[in-house]
Amino acid sequence: MTQAPPPDDQQWMRHALALAAQGKGRVEPNPMVGCVIVRDHVALAEGFHQKFGGPHAEREALSALPAGCDPAGATWYVTLEPCCHTGKTPPCSDAVIAARPRRVVVAAVDPFPEVAGRGIAQIRAAGIEVEVGVCEAEANRLNAPFIKRIRQRQPWVIAKWAMTLDGKIATHCGNSQWISGEASRRRVHQVRGQVDAIVTGIGSVLADDPTLTARPPGPRTAARIVMDDRAQVPLDSTLIKTQSLAGLHVMVGAAAPQDRIDALRNTGCGVIVNASGTRTGGVEQLMAWCHDQGMTNILLEAGAGVLASFFEVDAIDEYQIFIAPKLVGGSTAPGPLGGVGLSQIAQSPSLEPLQVETIEGDLLVTTRRVR
C-alpha cells in the first residue's frame, strides 16, 4: 500500500499550486509552476513562473530569499519537475542543486521530452532526496492544457455558451442578446483575456457583429478565428475594422469564391483554406494550425453548428455553461449543440462531476471531458 505523504507536504504543495495558478494567461505555452522553500516548518521564500520568457519558479523563489539567508538543508516544494535543459532560461535543476537542499518534493513529472524525468534524475544523482507525486492529480489538472499540447500537439478547447433555463441559446428568431447577466459577461471577458484564440462561426458574425476582444484587456490578446465556408465575413464588420486590436483569421471552404478570399486578404485578414471539404475535417485542420501557431488554449464562442463540429470530433476539453433564469420556448429555438447528434445516451462523452457557481442570479456550470 502506498503511504500517504505527510500533512506538511500536502499543505506546502497546495500553497505552491495556488502560487502557480497566478501565472495563468501569462506563461503559456509554458506550464504554470510554483515553488516554496521551507525549513523547520517555515517558508523561507516562494515564487512562481510569472511570464513567458521570464525566470522559472525555482529561480523566482531563490531571488526572494531574504538577504543573508542560506537555504541549505531546506525542503523545496515544486509543482512540476525542475527543467534540466537550456531554453529561454538556464536549467533550474542546476540552481536547485547549488542551493544544497535536504529534500525536493515534486508534484508531477514534466512531459516535455527534453525533461521527462531527467531533472529529477539529475537532482537525485547529486545525493538529494527527491519525492515525486505529492498532489500529482491537482498539478496535472492545473497544467492539463500544457500536457495536451505536449502529448497530443493540440490546444486545449473550452466551449462556452449562455442558455436559458429551458436550454435555448437564442429565440426562434435568432435573438440572443443578452441571455446571461452583466456579471457573467464580465467573467467571459476574463477568460477571453487568458486564451490564445477565440473561435466563432459566420452565423454568429452575421447575427451579432461581435468584437470578440477582452474588455478590459487581459494578459493575452486572443486571435479571432471565424469558420466561414463561403468567405462571407462582411468587409465592414467590426471584426475587420478592429484588426489593429487583435488578429483575425477566417477558415474558408475550398470552393469559396476567390474574389471574396482576395478581398478578405486585402484587409490584412489571414485566410485558412479548409482542404478537407467537411466541417469536422476543418476542425481537425484548425486544431493542428493552432498548435503550429504556438497556441495552448482556444475558446469557442459560437453557435450550435460550430459547437457541434467540435463536439462530433470529440475536440472539446472543457465546458463553461452559463444558465440564466429565463425561458423562451419554441421548438425551433436552437439549443447549444446542433448537427445530427448522438443516437444513444450511452454514447455521451464521459464528463467530470459538475462544478456549479452562482454569478448574480446566473449559474455557471463547468466540467471537463474525462480522457
Give the residue ranges of DSSP H helices in 52-100: 57-63, 92-98
Question: 92 a known binding residue?
Answer: yes
Helix, strand, coil in percent for the chain, rounding step 5? 30, 20, 50
H or E element that contains 121: helix 118-125
Question: 176 a known binding residue?
Answer: yes
Q: How far is CA 330 from CA 16, 207, 341, in A?
A: 50, 19, 19
Question: 301 a known binding residue?
Answer: yes
Nearest-angstrom CA–CA distance, 193 and 334: 28
Among 371, 367, 369, smallest CA distance to 353 is for 367
In the chain, what's the furthest Cα-to-Cα distance? 72
**58 catalytic per annotation:** yes
Tell me phi and psi for residue 121, to 5 degrees. -60, -40
Question: 305 a known binding residue?
Answer: yes
Half-sphere exposure of 149 (CA within 13 A, CB side): 24
* Residue 63, amino acid: S
Question: 178 a known binding residue?
Answer: yes
Question: 56 a known binding residue?
Answer: yes
Question: 309 a known binding residue?
Answer: yes
Question: 307 a known binding residue?
Answer: yes
Spatial contact of 105 and 134, defined as CB atoms under 8 Å apart = yes
Which 3 state secondary structure label does DSSP give 273?
A: strand
Q: Which residues are paired to 298 by β-bridges? A: 157, 197
Q: Which residues are paired to 226 by β-bridges? A: 200, 250
Question: 303 a known binding residue?
Answer: yes
Question: 135 a known binding residue?
Answer: no
Pick the catalytic residue from 58, 81, 312, 318.
58
Question: 215 a known binding residue?
Answer: yes
Question: 306 a known binding residue?
Answer: yes
Question: 165 a known binding residue?
Answer: no
Nearest-angstrom CA–CA distance, 61 and 70: 13
Residue 342 makes CB contacts below 8 A (sequence gap 6+) with 348
Catalytic residues, by residue number, are 58
What residues are designated binding site?
56, 83, 92, 162, 176, 178, 192, 208, 212, 215, 301, 303-309
Residues placed in the known binding site for substrate:
176, 192, 212, 215, 301
- Binding site residue list for NADP(+): 162, 178, 208, 303-309
Write out the binding residues for Zn(2+): 56, 83, 92
